[in-house]
Structure 1
Amino acid sequence: MDKKVIIFEVEGGTDKGPDGYRPDTMPMVDALKQRGQDAEVLFFDVTKKQAIFEYVKEHGVAYVSRINPGNLQHEEEYFEMLRELCQAGIIGMPHPDAMISYGSKDVLSKLTTTNLVPDDTFAYYTIEAFKTQFPISLAVTERVLKQNRGSTGEGIWRVNLVDPLAEGVTAVPLDAQIKCTEAKDNHVEYWQLGDFMTFCEQYITGANGMLIDMRFLPRITEGEIRLLMLRDHPVHVVHKKPAETKDAFSATLFSGAHYRYDQPEEWPELVENFLAQLPHVTSLLGNHDLPLIWTADFMLDTNEAGEDCYILGEMNCSCVGFTSELSLAQQVAEEIVMCMDERTEVVAQ
């Protein structure tokens, strides 16, 4: 019996086409079948978890997860099933622990020993750590706070002082006035630091609560550079330029940013440096197999020698879409088959 590649989706959500599937799912199924590899889409339903597990264990050779976390109410149960499938010998694309490692915002604090992330980048898992460190960080330079949850720029704040500190002050007083710009729509709010930090406690509490604190990079106005990867192969580079309005720094489409698609060869310094760092990145993030489809988002900065350099802003790997370039389905299918062939060779050895 020929084993199938199972593509997991979930019913409902704004990412579905008229046929009920993500627009980039069926092109993948068709591309796999063109290569002689059978494939099938299954919708994850927590009430049918055991039946789905048994079916995939018997009929599947690999799974590809195409579920947007925002559409998944039972993420823990879904990840638990994926882990069990991987333990049963099904090839995970990606393994759920890789999704967590590469997709969480705290990936930045884990990569400060690479040249991709500044070493003054902090992760706050407790309110106490946040209240201790953030006034010190803000005293040095303008900052960006990023919550772990949310999307499209929600809960990502650019924070700077309204008035400069007195000379010699190393921590911003709690009554200092600060200007806060949210990436969601670039709107501005003015707060006292203490009140704003109390407001931000909501991002730290609860499941997967956490805040990332990193320096603001003024050259974000030149655009965010997204590297789209198929495992260790760069596929294309998306240049996302914020709207040309005062205080704009968000590179989301929702906030009016403009997107341009380039070939990786047009960004040689970025691509070559990232690929050179990739083995180190992989080891720091748990030595999981690289996700099938994932992205790394960068911002321009200037190093001490006055040269351009690229700073990592975040990674995404849970369900990176390519609906604007469906022709990529052929490359994705090729990568899936290649991954399965590699795994077969390893098992044979």
Structure 2
Amino acid sequence: MDTERHPPFRHSVAILSRGDASARRDATAQNSRFVRVFEALAAAGIEAQPAIYDEAFADAVRDQLLAVEGVLVWVDPIHQSKTRAALDPLLREVAARGPWVSAHPDIILKMGVKEVLYRTRHLGWGCDTHRYDSAATFRAEFPRRLRADGPRVLKQNRGNGGQGVWKVESLPGARTMVRVLHAQRGSRFEDMPLEAFLDRCEPYFGWGGCIIDQAFQPRLPEGMIRCYMSGSKVAGFGHQLIKALVPPPPEGPDSPEAQPGPRIMHGPDASPFQALRRRMEDEWTPQMMAMLEIEERSMPVIWDADFLYGPRDAGGADTYVLCEINASSCFAIPDQAPAAIARTVAERLR
């Protein structure tokens, strides 16, 4: 690092992400997708090093993490069929031996899984939400709710990229048939027996532990607002016209018309999102922290809350429905977020 550009390093951290042996061997701050985060940390007097993880060389990663003061983790719950089943115990061990870890696996299990939608359903961001803790409960309750309440969205507890997220609706005049659409890109509608769909969902009760059931939000085609947070403060916003769970066009799910629009990034002061910012900083985040018993120091240095537009209120103003919190691997991020991350890391290591 150029000592004329950066102050003397006062702290050290590792930025952990998944990769193979060659990626670990060749990793540098300059060739990392987190290069802007590395630069912001250096400007704050924090020396950061890349730490590439895979189960095949977990012991070497453990030794590397134990040699720094803090660990910033960007690893998806599911990546190319690999889960965090081995990584999470390693991170707990590292944290128990001294280094500070963000996001700590125990914090992810509180706020970064779909169950948070059920646990916080009574906050202002909630909607009609249910939890199924077992396959037997799911089979007993979901069909009745689907018939009574209309289209539903089912979500496996741990996942990313639309994996295990389904829109489900009954077929008119066919009590035992459903139409389902997976949220993964390129998915098509499937008409199938309800019993067969229940079978398909049963594996979600394994590693994830439960299924969350929310009412489908009709304003989904208007887009999703991603509210980026560093600790308990807003670090920026992203707005995207998503295509997941939106009926594919006649040209098919692989056509250009079926692809999601670009995510337009905004800073924390962007005027269209100030009402949401006030709710997040002044109400919903503090309420969630109190409900889930999360201290400020334990809040992730970067996380996001994904919102859909809910029904407009009596005055015609937008309301917002939380559809997901990402705390395991929140990236890409707005241009303003690396500096916010660096400030939060400096506060935690001080």
Give, in angstroms, the shift of residue 159 of structure 1.
Answer: 1.6
Three-state SS of the structure 1 residue aligned to 2:41 is helix
Q: Name the counterpart of 1:81.
A: 90
Preserved CA contact (<8 Å) 2:308 2:323: yes
Q: 2:273 aligns with which of 249, 267, 270?
A: 267
Three-state SS of the structure 2 residue aligned to 1:194 is helix
Three-state SS of the structure 2 residue aligned to 1:227 is strand
Q: Name the counterpart of 1:105.
A: 114
Query: CA distance change for structure 1 residues 284 and 194 in 2, over 3 Å: closer, same or farther?
Result: same
Question: CA separation in 2, counterparts of 1:244 and 1:112?
Answer: 22
Q: Name the counterpart of 2:3.
A: none
Say yes or no: does 1:256 pair with 2:259: yes
Say yes or no: does 1:130 pair with 2:138: yes
1:129-278 matches, cutoff 5 A: 129-138=137-146, 139-163=148-172, 175-184=175-184, 185=186, 187-204=188-205, 206-243=206-243, 247-248=247-248, 256-258=259-261, 259-264=263-268, 265-275=271-281, 276-278=283-285
User: How high is the sequence identity, in percent, across the aligned residues?
Assistant: 24
Preserved CA contact (<8 Å) 2:51 2:64: no
Give, in angstroms, the shift of residue 219 of structure 1.
Answer: 0.5
Preserved CA contact (<8 Å) 1:322 1:328: no
Q: Name the counterpart of 1:90.
A: 99
Question: CA separation in 2, counterparts of 1:7 and 1:244?
Answer: 30
Give, in angstroms, the shift of residue 23 of structure 1.
Answer: 3.7
Deviation string 1:150-191 (CA, Å, 9 cap, x unpaired) is: 432233221222227xxxxxxxx9x43322222223521112
Give, in angstroms, the shift of residue 254 of structure 1.
Answer: 11
Query: CA distance change for structure 1 residues 272 and 3 in 2, over 3 Å: closer, same or farther?
Result: closer
Query: CA distance change for structure 1 residues 186 and 240 in 2, over 3 Å: closer, same or farther?
Result: farther
Give, in angstroms, the shift of residue 244 of structure 1.
Answer: 11
1:31-70 matches, cutoff 5 A: 31-46=40-55, 49-50=58-59, 52-57=61-66, 59-70=67-78
Preserved CA contact (<8 Å) 2:77 2:83: no
- TM-score norm. by structure 1 comes to 0.80
Preserved CA contact (<8 Å) 1:63 1:90: yes
Q: Name the counterpart of 2:322.
A: 312
Three-state SS of the structure 2 residue aligned to 1:297 is strand
Deviation string 1:201-260 (CA, Å, 9 cap, x unpaired) is: 2333x222432111001011111111111111212211111359972599xx99512122
Q: 1:9 aligns with which of 10, 17, 30?
A: 17
Unaligned runs of 5+ residues in structure 1 are 165-172, 342-349
Three-state SS of the structure 2 residue aligned to 1:274 is helix
Question: CA separation in 2, counterparts of 1:7 and 1:104?
Answer: 22
Unaligned runs of 5+ residues in structure 2 are 1-8
Deviation string 1:16-57 (CA, Å, 9 cap, x unpaired) is: 9x9577743233223322333222222335465455445543
Preserved CA contact (<8 Å) 2:76 2:160: no
Three-state SS of the structure 2 residue aligned to 1:267 is helix
Query: CA distance change for structure 1 residues 331 and 162 in 2, over 3 Å: closer, same or farther?
Result: same
Give, in angstroms, the shift of residue 96 of structure 1.
Answer: 1.7
Three-state SS of the structure 2 residue aligned to 1:176 is strand
AA of the residue aligned to 2:328:
S
Preserved CA contact (<8 Å) 2:221 2:242: yes
Three-state SS of the structure 1 residue aligned to 2:85 is helix
Question: CA separation in 1, counterparts of 2:28 and 2:10?
Answer: 27
Alignment RMSD (CA, Å): 3.3
